Amino acid sequence: MYTVKGKTYPCCTSVTMGIIGGKWKSVILFYLMEGPLRYNELLKKINGVTERTLSLQLKSLEEDGVIKRKVHTTKPPLKVVYSLTDFGSTLAPLLRSIAEWGDFVVENHAD
């Protein structure tokens, strides 16, 4: 058993999936690998995600220390930018591999 931030996992792969698993987290992280993005930019890039779901997933990723939320208040309007933390950046090779495998599936096993 593994315990990370108070959550218990049965194996090391479940730790990874607990952090990046689900329908939208890996998609959010994939786009943030390109660089920092504002909330609305993420919303436009991720076709099909609701505003509520995006907000909840961003909050969860932030709580896990994978992304950071920076609020710029120097002048109106308020600007919120999301980016990968140094810890989150360590996921880049994994996310690239997942994306490459997805491309392979589309090219070789699509209906």
The answer on pLDDT for 3 being more than 80 is yes
- The structural domains of the chain, with segments of one domain joined by +, span 23-109
The pLDDT value given to residue 85: 97
Owner of token pair 């998609």:
27
The answer on pLDDT for 28 being more than 90 is yes
Beta bridge partners of residue 79, listed in sequence order:
72
46-102 tens-digit pLDDT = 999 999 999 999 999 999 999 999 998 887 888 899 999 999 999 999 999 999 999
The pLDDT value given to residue 95: 94
3-state helix, strand, coil in the chain (%, to 5): 55, 20, 30
| % of the chain exceeding 90 in pLDDT | 74
Angle between helices 25-32 and 12-20 in degrees, nearest 10: 80
CATH of segment(s) 23-109: 1.10.10.10
